[in-house]
Structure 1
Amino acid sequence: MLHIVNKSPFQTTTLDTCLRMAQPGHALLLIEDGIYAATAGSAAEARVRQACTSLKVYALQPDMDARGVTGKLIDGVTLVDYPGFVDLTLEYSTSHSWL
């Protein structure tokens, strides 16, 4: 399953809920303000690093670039572009967008 989170970890508990429900082998894609969870020094950094041990974690590069935080990407998170986003939706038969 592909879990998609677009909310900032500073504004909602969406990421925490997602991480509780995600199973080993699932993937997490951080988009829009959700990408802040994948930045070094963020309050969510430890949770995302832990998630990387059982999930494939991705962040949308255009959103990282737009917010000027690409250089702060934490280890274990893979950047994807829009075609990569599409590829992930094809790779995982089920997607869940967390609101």
Structure 2
Amino acid sequence: MTLHTVNKTPGESSALKDCLASLSDGDALLLIENGAYAAMPGYAIHFTCLPGSIKCYVLLADAQARGLQQDQNPDFQSIDYDDFVALSCQHDKVVSWF
């Protein structure tokens, strides 16, 4: 199982597209920094084909810093830094996409 972090919006790079193409059952996706914008409902189309076993998260501090926490896609769970560390420890590896 892998934790994938994405720190860019789909408009900034192909990181999200590349990440989504490499996800496997049991992996998790965490949007951080500007990647938090992808948790907005307007980007939901990117996540419609994900297997149900993929868990999606957004770092709350980054969403709050960008004023996004109230409009986020309900498929994303907001987590704090302690949760980020716990996710990193729960997964076999962490892959950062940028």
| Alignment of structure 1 residues 42-53 onto 2, 5 Å | 44-51=43-50, 53=52
SS at match of 2:77: strand
Question: Cα distance 1:34–1:17, how it changes in 2: closer, same or farther (>3 A)?
Answer: same
For 1:60-79, list aligned pairs within 5 A. Answer: 60-79=59-78
- Distance in 1 (CA, whole Å) between partners of 2:53 and 2:46 is 12
TM-score (normalizing by structure 2)? 0.91
Work out the CA distance in 2 between the residues paired with 1:49 and 1:80.
21
CA positional deviation for 1:76: 1.3
Identity %: 37
- Residue 49 of structure 1, CA deviation: 4.1
1:92 to 2:91 alignment: yes
State the AA in 1 paired with 2:90: E
What is residue 82 of structure 1 aligned with on the other side? 81
TM-superposed deviation, 1:51? 2.8
Q: What SS does the aligned partner of 1:2 have?
A: strand
Alpha-carbon distance in 1 for matches of 2:71, 2:3 = 23
The CA deviation at 1:9 is: 1.3
Other structure's SS at 2:38 match: helix
Cα RMSD after superposing both structures: 1.3
Which structure 1 segments of 5+ residues have no match?
none
How far apart are the structure 2 equivalents of 1:85 and 1:11?
23
User: Which consecutive segments of 4 or more residues in structure 1 shift more than 6 A?
Assistant: none
Residue 2 of structure 1 aligns with which residue? 3
C-alpha distance in structure 1 between counterparts of 2:34 and 2:48, whole Å? 18
Query: Deviations for 1:61-84, whole angstroms, at most 9, x for unmatched residues?
Result: 000000001011111111000001
